[in-house]
Amino acid sequence: MYLLQELYVEQVYADWEEQAAYLHDFMHATNPWQFFNAINGLNSYRSPYIYHCLRSCLDGT
């Protein structure tokens, strides 16, 4: 059981690091390809926090 919990935690951290990388790319995109690649990467996750941040950035709220 401990091994499964450890693997889950490792996966959560790996997913978070990947989401953080996409969010960084989104915030620092210098051309449309980088921007849409970051959007697609963020959309590949179903994180309400990331979705909220993305909607706030796009809506200007």
| Domain interval for residue 24 | 2-59
* Each residue's pLDDT tens digit, 19-50: 778 788 888 888 888 888 887 777 766 555 56
The pLDDT of residue 56 is above 60: yes
The pLDDT of residue 1 is above 50: no
Number of independent structural domains in the chain = 1
Lowest mean pLDDT of 5-9, 30-34, 50-54, name the range.
Answer: 5-9
The model carries a pTM of: 0.51
Nearest in space to 35 (alpha carbons), one of 13, 17, 58, 9 = 58
The pLDDT of residue 61 is above 70: no
